[in-house]
Amino acid sequence: MKPWCRITAVMGVSNTSTDLELAPHEQDHSVDEAMVPYYGRHGCKQYIHGKPIRYGYKLWTGTTRLGLWRWSNSSSQLRQCLTRTVAAFHLYFDNYFTSVPLLEELSKRKLFGTGTVRENRLPGKPLLDNKVMKKQNRGYFDYQKIKGSNIIALKWNDNNIVCCLSNEAGVNPIHSTKRYSRKDKKIVQISQPHVISLYNRNMGGVDRSDENIAKYRISIRGKKWYFSLVSHCIDLAINNAWLLHRLWGGEHDLLKFRRSIAITMLSQHKKRKDYNRSHASATGIQNDALRYDAIEHYVIPQEKQTRCAECHTKTTTRCRKCDIGLHVK
C-alpha cells in the first residue's frame, strides 16, 4: 500500500478545484518545496536543515506570483503535474530543478522556464570564471546562448555570483536596482539583466503562501499521521480564498477573514427557533455568505404562521437554512 493512499482523494479534489477556475490562471508560476510540520513517526517525514520548518512532510507546490496555490504533490507526482500544465505558461524554479535538458523539454511542450542553475550542469564552460567575475564591478554580467537551442545562460555579479538559465527571457532591457555598498557606505544603483528581474519578481509565490499559512495555521492535533496534511489543504484553500477576496476589493485582513469563515460555519448549526409561538421573528440569519451561497435553501412548511421576509404577509412556509418566513413564489 502506498504511504499517500489515505489522502490521495483529498489532494486530488484540492488540485482539481484550482484547475476548475476556482483560482485565476496567470502566465507566471513558481515551483518550490513547502514543508508541512509533523513531529511524529512516519517514513515520509523528512528533515531539511536551514528551513523554518525542519521536520515534516515535503510537498512540491506550484503557485502564482501573488501566492495563489495551484497544486501540491509529492516528488513522485511532480512530473505529472507539470505535463498537464497549459501551454504558454512561464515556470520559475530554483537550482534543484534547472538544467539544459529540462528547458529543452519545456520548449518542446511550448512552455517557458527560468531558474537559477548549478554551474556543473552547464555544458562546457560557456561563461566567465567566478574568480574573473568577482573582480568586475558590481552589476557586471556575462551571457551566452547554448549551442543548438534557444536557451540563454547568464552570470550576474551581485553579493554573490548568480547563474541562471532561461528559454524565454533575455538580457534586454537592462534594469536598475538598489543595493547597499559596504565600500561607499550608501545605497547605490547597479545594472540588472531582464531575466534576473523577472525571476526575482515571480519566484516568491510559494514562500508568500507559506508565510500566510504560518501566521494562523490550524493548531488542532490529530492522532493520525495524515491529519496535518489534511489541515494543510484546508489552510491552503483559506489562503486562496483570502487572496481572491483581496483581489476583488475586499478589506478583511487574514485573521478577520478566517474568523468570518468560522462564524459562518458555526452559524449553520445554531439552535433553531421555537415555531410554536404565534409571532415568531422573521429576522433570520444576517450572514451574507450563508444568504447568497445558493446551497440548500429549501422552503418547508411550518406549524404557525409568520410574516414573509419579502412581502410581509402571513405565510405557513419558511426557508430551512435562513430560518425566516418565506412564500414559495
Q: What pLDDT is recorded for position 78?
A: 53
Alpha carbons 7 and 17: distance in angstroms, whole number: 16
- Domain assignment present for residue 46? The answer is yes
Q: What pLDDT is recorded for position 12?
A: 62
**Residues 237, 239, 242, 247, CA torsion sign:** negative
Specify the range with the lowest mean pLDDT, choosing from 6-15, 126-135, 177-186, 187-196. 6-15
> Within 115-226, where are the H helices?
130-134, 194-202, 205-215
Measured in degrees and rounded to the nearest 5, phi and psi for residue 16 equal -65, -40
- Domain assignment present for residue 106? The answer is no
- Domain assignment present for residue 103? The answer is no
Specify the range with the lowest mean pLDDT, choosing from 20-24, 163-167, 285-289. 20-24
The overall pTM is greater than 0.95: no
- Domain assignment present for residue 283? The answer is no
Mark whether 196 and 215 lie in a shared domain: no
Q: What is the pLDDT of residues 232-289, one digit of tens each?
A: 888 988 998 899 888 888 888 999 999 988 888 887 666 655 544 444 444 555 566 6
Mark whether 197 and 213 lie in a shared domain: no
Mark whether 80 and 128 lie in a shared domain: no
- Domain assignment present for residue 278? The answer is no
Mark whether 90 and 220 lie in a shared domain: yes
Mark whether 10 and 89 lie in a shared domain: yes
pLDDT at 131 over 60: yes
Provide the number of structural domains found in the chain.
3
Domain that holds residue 140: 111-202
- Domain assignment present for residue 102? The answer is no
Q: What pLDDT is recorded for position 277?
A: 45
15: left (phi over 0), alpha (psi -120 to 50) or beta: alpha
Mark whether 304 and 158 lie in a shared domain: no
Mark whether 90 and 216 lie in a shared domain: yes
